[in-house]
Chain A
Amino acid sequence: MPSVAVKPKQEQAKAKKPVLKVEDLHTYFEVRRMGFFKVGDVRALDGVSFELYPGETISIVGESGCGKSTLAKTILGIHRPTKGKIYFDGQDLSTLDKDGWKKYRSNLGYIMQDPYGALPPFMTVKRILEEPMKINGITDKKEHAKRIRQVLEEVKLAPIEDFLPKFPHMLSGGQQQRLVIARAMILEPKMLIADEPVSMLDASVRVEILQLLQGLQRKHNLAIIYITHDLSTVRYFSERIFTMYGAKIIEKSATKALLHEPLHPYTKALFEATSDPDAENLKTFKDVPAGEPPSLMNPPAGCRFHPRCKYIIKGLCDREIPPEFAARSDHSAACWLYKDRA
């Protein structure tokens, strides 16, 4: 039976140059009343910075609405950042012309959040895989056939000839997701953004898809951003984990360090809320904060988690935005509790 092992690859990755660098990224959406009066902004991404290295996977965890997909879409150029910079291979994206963008996009595989809306229903598997090549100026039919064969083999949709004429609705959920991955890989990208790639799938299929992504990563030295709200999958799949809350990254950590000890009270709460299958769970209550995530139009002052936080330092947490404190070389948290540990 195939299995996944945890593989710390970060040191080796660190020596290289980052494939992606994001600096103080902000994405705001204007909210207008009656389509006219501007009433404010949804600050869907509010100051995010990090670097991603070749061959590395970063998991981004956080609850609905915290800005995960907005981060993905801003990196992809679907949303234009309100403020901040994105560098790919050292190049500032804001300086790219039309051809530059095309080239950038062909280096970036994207697995969208909604797998059912992701595949065009009236195209065959063959056409779905040909489209991105045509758009990117690959016209040689032999090259098409070669690449299609290669990606379908890699995602294990075999026998290939059986799948080529099929339409998406003829595939199971797991097979559809493998096709989505094949499409994301067809242009041989350097980087892959996978937005909840397995959350719509059954447990027995999830692992298969995650292992598939991991195999592709090793083979092609891919850098992957893996977005999920499911903490339990990340240990098997990533070198680093970022937690998002209220449009900010509030904790950054090497996977091992985070599993050893989450620092930010919100990440602690996510850990507490995650149920591993264990009959003992029946006997205890979970110590999790009540309340709701903050409004992104009128976020609370200071730390955005302070209204729900049981460790709150009054007069500080509710007033000043906590900066990122590095508690260890591979672990930082934007939380006032760590101001002296940094």
Chain B
Amino acid sequence: MSNNVLLDVRNLKLHFRTRSGPVQAVDGVSFQLREGHTLAVVGESGCGKTSLAKAILRLLPRNVTTFSGSVIFEGQDIMKYDDEKFRREIRWSKIAMVPQASMNSLNPVIRIEDQLMEPLLIHENISKQEAAQRVRDAFAVVGLPVDFLARYPFELSGGMRQRAAIAMALASKPRLVVLDEPSSALDLLTQANLMNVLKKIKHEFKTTFILITHDIGTASELADEIAVMYAGEMIEYASADYFYTDAHHPYSQKLMASVPTLREDKDLAFIPGQPPSLINPPAGCRFAQRCEKRFEKCSEHPRVTSLKNGASVQCWLFDEMGEVKHA
């Protein structure tokens, strides 16, 4: 694997307008992702995972109030591109997304082959034959029989439709694929088969993935790095090796302690309370109210600290242990 940074996100913000005030769904998120690596973004429902993906791919709803920061991809700040250029040069062709519940997003009455070819014909200057070949290749990669291409989505099981949605994202040969909860709606065995497929793609084609999931166990099947989001912020970013044995942030530690394990008998613990509202979140650390380790300093907004092991943590406990990255 190369050490090239493929994606460098800096201070990304995405806020939505609502009647009660702006929702700070993504609020100052920064991270880097190296080529060929997989970053798993984990966190509880509503913490901003899907919004982060939408911000990177610029798939924005109408009620956006703030959309700022930089997204440096292959060395270019693609936030500076206008919508037309972004659509032509980035979305699908370079960065593709498999949206949440995408197994249900295929049009049930259009043949799968036609649906998969459409983005290729729109976004890439290739012939119909070439597009058809690419789609066949992608189908083989995700382990679907090629004759299924002639079928309609309703004729396929949920697991097969999910593979078709992934094939659609792969067909344009993007350098980065964002997978939003690709397996959560699937049965256990189907889910395990799908993770095998993704792992194979990762190894064989060195595809870079962002895997969004609330399932920390499944994330470990694919992740080189783990990012934990809480209330719109990325409060920890660490290599999977460190994260799964010694998560840093108090929230990450609690989250890990709440995950039941099949093979090991551990004391389970839950996190009392609830995450804060994303409308007017607390000015200090957003986890402070539920944190057993909070101290005076926590009423101020914590800075992001880079640790020697490569992890970044947004927590005052780490402020003096590493090098402060930014406020």
Contact = CB atoms under 8 A, between A and B. Distances in A.
A315 B286 CA distance: 63
A277 B214 CA distance: 12
A270 to B, nearest CB: 6
Interface in B268-289: 268-272, 274
Given A207-B269, A232-B261, A235-B260, A275 B241 contact: no
Nearest to A156: B272
B209 to A, nearest CB: 12
Given A275-B217, A277-B216, A207 B268 contact: yes
B221 A276 contact: no
Contact of A273 (B44, B191, B256): B191
A229 interface: yes
A208 B244 contact: no
Contacts, number: 133
B261 A277 contact: yes
B192 to A, nearest CB: 4
Interface string B184-216: 000111011101100110000000000000111
A232 B270 contact: no
A20 B267 CA distance: 31
Contact of B217 (A174, A205, A206, A276): A276
A14 B255 CA distance: 37
Given A202-B44, A203-B258, A207-B260, A279 B243 contact: yes
A269 B189 CA distance: 7
B223 interface: yes
A109 to B, nearest CB: 22
A78 interface: no
A282 B221 contact: yes
Given A275-B218, A275-B220, A270 B188 contact: yes
A191 B191 CA distance: 33
Nearest to B254: A204
Interface residues of B, number: 49
Which of B159, B216, B270 is most buried by chain A, counting CB atoms within 10 A of its CB?
A: B270
A272 B192 contact: yes
A288 B189 contact: yes
A243 to B, nearest CB: 12
A148 B45 CA distance: 30
A232 B260 contact: yes
Interface in A195-252: 202-208, 211, 229-233, 235-236
Nearest to A286: B192
B199 A204 contact: no
Nearest to A64: B187
B180 to A, nearest CB: 16
A232 B263 CA distance: 8
Interface of B: 44-45, 157, 159, 187-189, 191-193, 195-196, 199-200, 214-224, 240-241, 243-245, 254-265, 267-272, 274
15 contacts: A2-B270, A63-B188, A206-B270, A270-B188, A270-B189, A273-B189, A274-B188, A275-B217, A275-B218, A277-B259, A281-B220, A281-B221, A285-B199, A285-B200, A286-B196
Interface of A: 1-6, 63-64, 172-174, 202-208, 211, 229-233, 235-236, 259, 269-282, 285-286, 288-290, 292-293
